[in-house]
Amino acid sequence: MPTWRIRIKSIRIPPRARWVAIFSALFLTSAIFGLQPDFAADHRAWANASNPPIVLLTPESFAIAPAAPTRAPSTRAPAAALTARQPVRADSLFDALIAPLATEAQRRRADMARSDPEFSKRIDGALNEGRVNFLLFGYGETHEPPFTENALIGSHTIISYDRRTRRADLVSFTHDIRAPEIEREMSKRGGKPTALRIDSAYTVGGFRLQRKMIENATGLAIDYQITFRDAAMQRLIDNVFDGVQVTAPMAFDVHPFYLDGVKYPGGHFPQGPQKLNGRQAIQFIKTVPVAEGSYDRVLEHNSRKSLVFDALLRALDEKYTDRAFWLKGATFVANEMLGGAVVCDFDPLALIVNNIGGVMADAPKFLASEKASAPRLPKIERSIYIVDPAHGDGGVQWVNANAAVNPITQKDIDAGVYPTLAMEVPLNANPYGDLVTGYWTSVRALVKESLLNLRGVPLNAPPREDTE
């Protein structure tokens, strides 16, 4: 009788693939357990007993991806006064998902108030009440003919979610704004005192400097920061959302653009709804429209960015009860963090996975209570673009225009401080004084007026001549 021998050949799985598989398995296991009634009941009883949460390992735990600055261990410290009135009731599935982020945001603010004497000065308490704020910093290549063939730029966008109204506000900045915080950081290192743009903060000083700069500029507490390459956004739309449905306000042509070192040809976007893949969405947002002279303001970069944000929210509203969608999302996050294309100053996988089991267990209750006519996910309430009024909502202006009314700006131009006049500054600003009360005042006033629906807030206070 013949003897059969089975030889099993070992298979080598790359380390990156192993980690993606581990994170995906953890996420899916948590979601599946959350749907089991017995496990869900045990889970809620365990949570009510105030046991500490299980902390799952993340890429940051192993320093695989660029890690965030050292953080204090999680505690149940009381929130600072400016966050003490945050609502805690979760009446929707989204509220339940964001609840741990809101709790962690309170703890972070309390820690910052204790460790940083300038924090309370930067932060506007009334503006931050009830809000959780996320700072997105996306960066990539730009092609702006005829002046720029290929350059690396970045842009900052704050997503400020108001838990009381369940609405989100967007605050975006043009990359051309002068940021004295970066200049002062460079001076400490012996650098030449020259005007530097806002999008170099992360490169120069990481999350710490970027947070300080944006808090100075807006008065909003930056609770969470995420930096990403524009190619990561392309993969998010392709691999997680399977494309995105965007409605163009008018037909327009765009110039060629660069993505990950590859130059793609120009394109055309017809007016009306259309489904875009990831690359088309990046082209829709960042490329320069073809136009003789100036183009319509509805085609400004920030306007097109808001259209894509809206489209992603609508898609998320349709998909967010689908476990397969969240599995793809977890895989995407793990993959991008391991590859370094997405870097956070918090542990997104830990916050999501530790919470997803309990949330999914309560999903039927939430879905039953959410009427078809009521929005399940937040809508964008306001979108503010901090840029010269000719292109957006103001708060800043080109330096040559500002020099006509601000002698400090004119003096800096004469002294050669500006490497180019294609930069913008706040109105009547003094970059050498107190930056909260003397430089960013017009931007802070615009943000507060817009987000709190105020009227009569002065945007043109005279420049202060005091220095630090």
CATH of the domain at 281: 3.40.630.190
**For residue 448, is it within any domain?**
no
- Rounded-to-integer distance, Cα 311 and Cα 249, Å: 13
From 118, 16, 44, select the one nearest 362 (Cα to Cα): 44
What's the pLDDT band for 152 if we cut at 50, 70, 90? confident
Residue 175: which of 339, 305, 298, 291 has the closest Cα? 305
Question: Considering the entire predicted model, what is its pTM?
Answer: 0.75
User: Across the chain, what does the average pLDDT equal?
Assistant: 77
User: Domain residues for 360?
Assistant: 15-396
Q: Are 257 and 282 in contact (CB under 8 A)?
A: yes
The verdict on residue 162 lying in a domain is yes
Measured CA to CA, the distance from residue 315 to residue 323 in angstroms comes to: 14
Q: Residue for token digits 């002062």?
A: 184
Count the domains in the chain.
1
More reliable by pLDDT, 67 or 240: 240
- Residue 319 within any structural domain of the chain: yes
**Does residue 235 belong to any structural domain of this protein?**
yes
User: What are the residues whose beta carbons fall under 8 Å from the beta carbon of 200, sequence distance 6 or more?
Assistant: 179, 182
Task: Write the DSSP symbol of residue 79.
Answer: P
Q: Give bridge partners of residue 384 from the DSSP assignment.
A: 171
Tokens standing for residue 433: 């004084």
In a domain, 248, yes or no: yes
Q: What Å distances lie between residue 201 and 148, 177, 209, 224, 423, CA to CA?
A: 21, 11, 6, 16, 15
Residue 428 is assigned to a structural domain of this protein:
no
pLDDT at 358: 54
**Neighbouring C-beta atoms of residue 18, cutoff 10 Å:** 10
In a domain, residue 209? The reply is: yes
Nearest in space to 306 (alpha carbons), one of 199, 170, 176: 170
Cis peptide before 146 (omega within 30 of 0): yes
Q: What pLDDT, in 10s, does the model give residues 452-461?
A: 986 444 444 4
- For residue 8, tell me if it sits in a domain: no
pLDDT digits (tens, 9 = 90+) for 187-197: 998 877 799 99
Which residue is listed with tokens 């100036």?
294
